[in-house]
Amino acid sequence: MKKSIIFLAVSAALLWGCNDDSMDVKFTQKGPQMEILSCDETAFMGDSIRFSVSLNDDFPLSTLKADLYYDETGVSNVTIRTKEDGTYSAAISSPIFADISDGTASLIFTAQNTGLGITKDTVEVAVSRPDCEYLTLVLEGKEYKMTKVGDYLYEVTGNFPAAASALIKTPSLDASGHVVTFGWDGSSALKVGSSVKIPFSAAKAGVYKISVDLKTLTAAPFGTITCNVSEASKTEVLNLLQGTTVAFPNIADITDWNMDYDFFKVNEDNTITFKPIDGLYKFTADFDKSFIKVEAMADADNYSSFDSGSAEGAIWVIGGNFGKPKIGDSWNTDTGAYCLSEISDKVYQLTLTAGESLGVSGYSIKFFHQKGWGGEFGSFATVNGAGLIKVTNSGNVEPAEDVKLDLGQAYTFTIDVTKGFGAASLSIVKTDIPVSSLDIHVNGVKAARVSSTHYQVQSIDIEKGQALNIEGVTDLTSWFLDPDYLYIDGSSLKFNAVSGKFAIDLYLDGGYATFRRLKSNGEEATIDEGALWMMAWGLANPTMKDGQLAFNPGAAFCLAEIKPMVFQFTGIAVEETDATTVGGRIRYDYLSFKYFGQDGWGRECGKIIDEKVANTVKLTNLAATYLNVSDSHNIELKDAVGQPLEKGATYVLTIDLSKTATDKIEVIDLIKK
């Protein structure tokens, strides 16, 4: 305790402007004798500081005041009327505020008598924020234990009503049994001692999580579930109700991401609604692809699986030439396995966009009971595909014969097991996905939005040497410009290929564009119209690690026709794992590629004009030092000791078909620039 300090009474001359004989006022320079008998030396924010003070004086007593300061800011005060000598006991509130740290508060006592004599004393109190082992949620007379999950963070998951107004209370904070109760401040935060209940709410009654943060004095949910995925912590498991609003505070603008419309609905006010049925779901954020992957969970650590006996649980899909948000790893049970959205009880859906997340043709997918190999849907009682799909004897879902999907069109696959596993049905229908498009034009032709980062000019006529004016793309100077299709002439971007009709795909996230030759009616061109298509391992666009062309019919790469029936592909030789060398489009140590007369199987290397007529495939002398032609007419890199191609060097692959129709010869050249 600090020694009492006696302050001089205020001069009567300052208080009275003149002498009034009718008033008998006595003043003193001496304040009351004050002794602090007891005072809490530690206290919790939100609780009270209890004290006891003894006062006596020759003058009649007036008041005892207690003022609490955090640093230099007064935060609480109490005044006690003191009519006679004695001991006065009371308590002063130790308020709690958001985000302030533990520290030392100053409790200043001021005693005053009727002669305006004043005595002051100060006690320092160590004040800390409650960080209890648990909290208690009091809802409709029932108590729920809230588990501590982090510093000042508490949560409880239960079967709650849609409107779950409740109070929160701490356990006893000290031996005296003091408990702090939190209500609502009527606006946006917890408030100590408030009898106004905290208005927790969800989309509907069901199992969901209620959480509070005693550091920020915030709570959730209020009709919105917060998903805290971030670049530092990419996954979170949440109990969600169908129709719940989900917020992503660590993502600047979630509506700019590639939205999975099987799981999310984007509302007019840009809020996000969760579409599947109630359940436990794992959210995984891919910041490279701007995509949230959602997977149904049995518990926090295990994925949900489908029980054919009860026709319940999650259904999964794995396959080739498909993926979300883009076509990805073929038949990969980890990165290439996706959970279907159970949109209503025992009705599951999967939505993919042709050319973006599903091959226009050449795809093959299968539905599984679990995330990986094992139980699978080998057949369906009914298949409704409007002639678009077929189910093979092994249960793979593939395109019907000679069927191509409409490029840029979304399709929804639906599995319905409401009548039991044995009566499961599969259907596919065209789907309209709501989007908001950027205003992108190429030479005045508006680009359509395929996804948030993929735009497409569906048909445009371009002349060789013509300048291309791309509007709406702000960082075009940083893009990879395919050197076979494009070149810079002064300040102009010009077209290098033979004149014709083209589709242009603009990939904003990757910073590159691809070109596809079209027929006059807008369909993909064939070799008859000057289009040559490449499928390959060891060739890529625009980078090797993520852009290998692969063998995906319906998603083949259209080579640039630099002269009539002469086609070219230029790239830097790199390792297979190279993801940073832009233009690193040729693998230095392995090549296996084949060119085709259409975007798919049919006319190919050795039979490029007519698949029934064989031609001579000739390697130039330079090409023969690197390449050979296999019996199946795949062009391959020769086996060699050391590096067959020089890493970092630029190579130009040329396929000359200008004499094929007349001399039955296909000439392949590969040179180092």
The whole-number pLDDT of residue 537 equals: 94
Give, in degrees to the nearest 5, the angle at Cα 316 between 278 and 418.
60
pLDDT at 18 over 70: no
pLDDT at 7 over 60: no
- Average pLDDT over every residue of 405-428: 92
User: How does pLDDT run across 350-403, given as a tens digit for each residue?
Assistant: 999 887 889 888 899 999 999 999 999 999 999 998 799 999 999 999 999 888
Domain boundaries 527-673, corresponding CATH code:
2.60.40.3620
- Average pLDDT over every residue of 404-415: 88
Four-CA torsion 355, 358, 359, 363, nearest 10 degrees: 180
User: How does pLDDT run across 105-118, given as a tens digit for each residue?
Assistant: 999 999 999 889 99
Cβ neighbors of 15 (< 8 A, separation 6 or more) are none
Closest CA to 635 of 627, 645, 626, 643: 627
Using the 8-state DSSP alphabet, how is residue 476 labeled? G
Q: Count CA atoms closer than 13 A to 182's CA, side-chain side.
A: 26
Give, in degrees to the nearest 5, the angle at Cα 631 between 626 and 632.
100
The Cα–Cα gap between 131 and 213 comes to 10
The Cα–Cα gap between 469 and 446 comes to 12
The whole-number pLDDT of residue 502 equals: 97
CA distances (Å), origin 152, targets 103, 113, 138, 194, 657: 17, 45, 18, 20, 72
User: How does pLDDT run across 201-251, given as a tens digit for each residue?
Assistant: 888 888 899 999 999 999 989 888 889 999 999 999 998 889 999 999 999
Q: Count CA atoms closer than 13 A to 646's CA, side-chain side.
A: 10
The whole-number pLDDT of residue 511 equals: 87
The Cα–Cα gap between 283 and 3 comes to 61
Strand partners, 198: 166
As annotated, the residues of the chain forming the CATH 2.60.40.3620 domain(s) are 307-433, 527-673
Task: Kindly report the three-state secondary structure assignment for every residue of 530-597.
Answer: CCCEEEEEEEECCCHHHHEEECCCCCCEECEEEECCEEEEEEEEECCCCCCCCCCCEECCCCEEEEEC
| Residue type (1 letter), 176 | S
| Residue type (1 letter), 21 | D
Closest CA to 44 of 132, 157, 147: 132
Q: Cβ-count burial of 44 within 10 angstroms (0-12 exposed, 13-18 middle, 19+ buried)?
A: buried
What's the CATH class of domain 307-433?
Answer: mainly beta
CATH superfamily of 5-128: Immunoglobulins (2.60.40.10)
Closest CA to 541 of 524, 559, 525: 559
Q: In what order do the strands lie in the sheet with 470-471?
A: 445-446, 441-442, 470-471
Closest CA to 192 of 129, 244, 126, 252: 129
pLDDT at 145 over 90: yes
- Number of Cβ within 10 Å of residue 670's Cβ equals 22
What percentage of residues in the chain have a pLDDT greater than 90?
72
Mean pLDDT of the chain: 90
pLDDT at 10 over 60: no
Cβ neighbors of 655 (< 8 A, separation 6 or more) are 532, 559, 566, 567, 568, 595, 666, 667, 668, 669
Q: Which CATH number fits domain 134-222: 1.10.3470, 3.10.310, 3.40.1130, 2.60.40?
A: 2.60.40
The contacts found for 261-264 with CB under 8 angstroms, 24 or more apart, are 261/351, 261/410, 261/431, 261/433, 261/434, 262/340, 262/341, 262/343, 262/349, 262/350, 262/351, 262/412, 263/292, 263/294, 263/341, 264/292
Q: Cβ-count burial of 150 within 10 angstroms (0-12 exposed, 13-18 middle, 19+ buried)?
A: exposed
As annotated, the residues of the chain forming the CATH 2.60.40.10 domain(s) are 5-128
| Alpha carbon distance, N-terminus to C-terminus of the chain | 87
Assess contact for 587 and 636: CB atoms under 8 A: no
CA distances (Å), origin 414, targets 127, 163, 332: 59, 33, 22
Tokens representing residue 1 in the block = 């305790």
pLDDT at 9 over 50: no
pLDDT at 12 over 60: no
The whole-number pLDDT of residue 202 equals: 87
pLDDT at 83 over 90: no
Q: What is the pTM of this model?
A: 0.61
- Decide: helix, strand or coil at residue 444: coil
The Cα–Cα gap between 658 and 608 comes to 12
| Count, residues in the chain | 673
The whole-number pLDDT of residue 29 equals: 86
The whole-number pLDDT of residue 477 equals: 80
Residue 154 banded pLDDT, cuts 50, 70, 90: very high
The whole-number pLDDT of residue 457 equals: 95
pLDDT at 673 over 70: yes
Higher per-residue pLDDT: 21 or 620: 620
